[in-house]
């Protein structure tokens, strides 16, 4: 189950990225809504991430909305040649910051253009179609209609590669029959392992799996086992959680989100942390069975 291959890079679309990336969602204001509390700090986090070797940044124009993409552009444009910015479409925010599905052809087309404009790009390297059929997580249902729209935007040259987010294995299979899928971005971490079989299947086919909430999300992971293992390894619990993901499969790309430079440094250092076999055995006990 745990891969021996600890390669530090992976091919996403047709670009090689470092498996230690960065998720930009935490840069917007509270609740991923409005401007950041500390704008200069947000710009510094992005600049330090790239200066430290991050060449894969995950974002969306519905973070803020528009705020996170504009910060990325301000902090990093003109972009380094090796930087891959991955965005997602399929949701929108209302005036109170609620997250609503936005999967109509018009909404998807507008979202691609919003991302292009706010990021200052002519083409988006990877766009994840974020499926929201149920507020509580992935739910079965055909994704053919919105994915066909995104594939058409790709054919028009606005999008280079397509990924899927918040999807079931059946939807991934359906998506792969419609167009080439470069990556899948779903909720997965040490304690939430519904996607174990899907990760292995995608690894066999060379498709990236990008866990969102790798640290547990809005409520970061807390576990006495995690704390004990971390203390033994002279690391932090979040570093152990990331090191475990890094080792879990070679196609896993890390996009931990943080608005803090100290946390960014800590998270990037996790790629160097080696987990001995007894730590891996202990950490396996954290997994809770969850059903879809
Ligand atoms: N496709 C989707 O539906 C979807 C959904 C959610 C997220 N995402 C993407 O996935 C990325 C990662 O998810 P996420 O940011 O929601 O959750 P996450 O990475 O699991 O956790 C982020 C939380 O952990 C804290 N944190 C980060 N590093 C830490 C450290 N070293 N020590 C202690 N606390 C730490 C952050 O606070 P600080 O800011 O204080 O560090 C924040 O509260 C996002 O940035 C976004 O790009 C995608």
What are the tens digits of pLDDT across the range 189-235?
A: 999 999 999 999 999 999 999 999 999 999 999 999 999 999 999 99
Mean pLDDT, residues 232-259: 98
Confidence of residue 4 (pLDDT cuts 50, 70, 90): very low
DSSP tag of 271: G
Cα of 216 vs centre of ligand 1, distance in Å, is 7
Best residue among 21, 24, 25 to mutate for probing ligand 1, ranked by most atoms within 8 Å of CB: 25
CA distance 216 to 222: 9
CA–CA separation, 161 vs 244, rounded Å? 28
Assess whether pLDDT exceeds 80 at residue 291.
no
Averaged pLDDT, 16-31: 98
Q: Is 242 in the pocket of ligand 1 (CB under 6 A)?
A: no
Res 135 pLDDT > 90: no
pLDDT at 5: 54
pLDDT at 201: 98
* pLDDT reported for residue 102: 97
User: What is the pLDDT of the chain when averaged over all its residues?
Assistant: 95
What ligand 1 atom has the least distance to the C-alpha of 88?
1
Instruction: In whole angstroms, give the CA distance from residue 271 to residue 244.
Output: 9
How confident is the model over 94-113, as a mean pLDDT?
97
Please name which of 255, 233, 220 lies closest in space to residue 63, comparing C-alpha atoms. Answer: 255
How far, in Å, CA of 203 to CA of 210, rounded?
Answer: 11
């Amino acid at each position: 189950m745990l891969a021996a291959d600890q390669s530090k890079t992976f091919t996403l679309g047709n670009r090689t990225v470092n498996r230690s990336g960065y998720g930009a969602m935490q840069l917007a204001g509270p609740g991923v809504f409005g401007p950041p509390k500390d704008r200069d700090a947000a710009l510094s986090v992005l600049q330090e991430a790239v200066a430290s070797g991050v060449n894969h940044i995950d974002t969306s124009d519905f973070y803020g909305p528009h705020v996170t993409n504009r910060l990325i552009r301000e902090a990093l444009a003109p972009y380094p040649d090796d930087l891959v910015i991955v965005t997602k479409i399929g949701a929108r925010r209302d005036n109170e910051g609620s997250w609503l599905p936005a999967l109509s052809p018009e909404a998807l087309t507008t979202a691609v253009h919003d991302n292009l404009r706010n990021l200052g790009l002519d083409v988006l390297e990877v766009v994840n179609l974020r499926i929201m059929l149920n507020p509580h997580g992935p739910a079965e249902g055909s994704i053919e209609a919105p994915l066909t729209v995104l594939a058409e935007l790709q054919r028009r040259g606005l999008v280079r590669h397509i990924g899927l987010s918040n999807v079931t294995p059946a939807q991934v299979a359906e998506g792969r029959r419609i167009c080439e899928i470069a990556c899948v971005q779903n909720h997965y971490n040490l304690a939430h392992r519904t996607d174990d079989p899907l990760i292995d299947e995608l690894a066999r086919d060379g498709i990236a799996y990008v866990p969102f909430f790798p640290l547990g999300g809005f409520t970061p992971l807390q576990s006495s086992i995690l704390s004990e293992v971390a203390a033994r390894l002279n690391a932090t619990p979040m570093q152990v959680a990331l090191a475990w993901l890094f080792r879990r499969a070679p196609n896993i790309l890390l996009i931990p989100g943080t608005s803090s430079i100290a946390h960014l440094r800590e998270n990037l250092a996790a790629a160097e942390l080696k987990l001995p076999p007894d730590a891996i055995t202990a950490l396996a006990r954290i997994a809770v069975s969850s059903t879809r």
